[in-house]
Structures are given as C-alpha cells and as structure tokens.
Amino acid sequence: MLENLDTRALYPSLKDKRVIISGGGSGIGAGLVEGFARQGARVAFVDIAKDASRDLCESLSGAAHVPVFRACDITDVSAYTDALGEMVEAIGGCDVLLNNAASDDRHTVAEVTPEYWDQRMAVNLKHQFFAAQAVAPKMKASGGGSIVNLGSISWHLGLEDLALYQTAKAAIEGLTRSLAREFGRDNIRVNTIVPGNVKTPRQEKWYTPEGEAEIVAAQCLDGRILPIDIAAMALFLASDDARFCTAHNYWVDAGWR
Ligand SMILES: NC(=O)c1ccc[n+]([C@@H]2O[C@H](COP(=O)([O-])OP(=O)(O)OC[C@H]3O[C@@H](n4cnc5c(N)ncnc54)[C@H](O)[C@@H]3O)[C@@H](O)[C@H]2O)c1
C-alpha cells in the first residue's frame, strides 16, 4: 500500500532536526507534523485548533521527540513572533520552517471590504514573511536551513470565488524567490510546494463526491492526493538530499490541469 508509512523514505539528515510548522493541527499540517516526527525530528507547531492539536501530540506520544504545540493565531504577528521564540527555545533552535497555515474561505469580488482584504492577506501571506524573518538569524547561526512555503495550484487554474486566497498564493511564489536570493549565501534554502487538491477534512466540506470525481478526472493520475504525499515532498526539501534545491516550485498535483 502506498499509504503505508513503512514503505516511505527515512532521511538520516532529518534526525533531531528542529522543525517549526504553522497550522500543524489538522489537514496537511498534521501530515507534516507526523511525517517529521517519524523522522526523529524535534517538531514544534502552532495552530488555533487546540483540541485537534493536543490530540495529534497525544497520538504521537511514542515518537523519539513528542511534538510541542503552542496555541497561537498567526494573523497576530506580535503574538506569533513570541510563539516562534518560545518554540525555538523549546526545541533548541530552528533548522526547518514550514509555512503551512492558510484559510481558503470563499467570496465574490463584490463582497470584499478593505478589512476582509487585510484579514485574508494576514492568514494566507503575511505570516509566511514574518516567520521567515524571525527564524532566518537562528538558521544562519547554525550554518543554514530550509524554509518551505505552501502555495497552491488554485491560482494557476483560476478557480472560482477565491480571488484573495489566489492573490496571496500567487505572491508566495514571488516571496519564495526573493527570500531564496537574500538568504542563499547563509545556506538557507527557500522553496514552494504547490499542492493540487489534497483530501483533508476541510476540503471534504467544499467538494461533493461528484466534485472529487471531476478533479480526479482532470488529473493525469487516478486517486486522491493525501497529506502524506505533500509531507513526502516537504521531507525531501528539508533534507540534505535537497542541498542544491532552492528558489523553485515543487508540484504535487497528480498532473491536475
Ligand atoms: N488541501 C488542499 O487541497 C490544498 C491545495 C492547495 C494548497 N493547499 C495549502 O496547503 C496548506 C494546508 O492546507 P490544508 O488543506 O491542510 O488546510 P486546512 O484548512 O485543512 O488546515 C489549515 C490549518 O491551519 C490552521 N489555521 C488556520 N488559520 C489559522 C490561524 N489564524 N492561526 C493559526 N492556525 C491557523 C487551521 O486550524 C488548520 O489546522 C495551506 O497553505 C493551503 O493553502 C492545500
């Protein structure tokens, strides 16, 4: 079974690595927390979903390093900066940052107010920049690191009712290239993962079985992408195996066009 973790790669370079993840409590983020914990990494994550996050830590109580959870709303940059400092303290530094938290709420263009614009940019874009700004000096001090930003296929396809999410996700690809240029000489690599449609509890809310079937029909490959498949790319990009991979997009979309 491809979903069987026992058949998946283990990266020696990720053992004991200090990994910070935003939005790690559910969906793809939970897959990232599990994936890095399985590598023997020291994981810390933030989320607003307290119960789901605590349950996740409980389910990983047998890991070499049990993940550390801090409740935090990443749209509050000051609170998030404090939480990043606490997480760095708790796991002893930061080698890997996974900017994963986001919100794909739907809206029409006519419904958008200036306040809603700011809120959507805060949850989908702004925190990625400020988290990278906060951890880059820690990475530099320990000889380098890897930052992975979660983008989205949505704006490449031009999906409906997602103008602000898609605007933010488009900007993330530019952010990645800018940070990769500025941080490269400090051996900090920065990449974007571009997921296709990934089967998560929240996506189940948007798509009926017929809608899911339409997505699969538009993919080159059959089957639904799972959080574990996004985690697989993140593990590679965070590992030493990816030491010359930076400034680019890595797609995990089953060829959805
Ligand atoms: N699932 C997909 O099909 C898909 C497709 C393309 C891109 N992505 C991207 O992958 C990433 C993860 O997506 P997902 O589908 O797992 O999303 P999700 O909505 O299922 O999970 C996001 C997590 O972030 C948390 N979160 C949301 N707002 C927060 C806030 N203000 N502060 C702290 N935590 C907050 C949520 O509680 C949740 O645990 C996102 O960047 C998303 O844009 C997902």
CATH of the domain at 53: 3.40.50.720
pLDDT value of position 5: 77
Q: Is any ligand 1 atom within 6 A of the Cβ of residue 33?
A: no
**End-to-end CA, the chain:** 26
In angstroms, the CA 32 to CA 234 distance is: 8
Domain count, the chain: 1
Give Cα 65 to chain centroid, integer Å: 20
In angstroms, the CA 115 to CA 168 distance is: 15
Whole-structure pTM value: 0.98
User: Letter for the amino acid at 103?
Assistant: S
Q: Is any ligand 1 atom within 6 A of the Cβ of residue 131?
A: no
Query: Has residue 47 been placed in a domain?
Result: yes
Q: Using only C-alpha atoms, what is the Rg of the chain?
A: 17
Low-confidence ranges of the chain (pLDDT < 70): 1-3
Closest listed residue to residue 239, CA positions, set 52, 77, 19, 1:
19
Assess whether 250 carries a catalytic annotation.
no
Q: How do beta strands 145-150 and 188-195 pair?
A: parallel
pLDDT value of position 2: 53
In angstroms, the CA 252 to CA 11 distance is: 19
Query: Has residue 255 been placed in a domain?
Result: no
Query: Has residue 21 been placed in a domain?
Result: yes
pLDDT value of position 206: 85
Nearest residue (CA) to ligand 1, atom 10: 150
Query: Has residue 224 been placed in a domain?
Result: no
Domain that holds residue 147: 14-196+230-248
CA of 113 to the centre of ligand 1 (A): 22
pLDDT value of position 1: 40
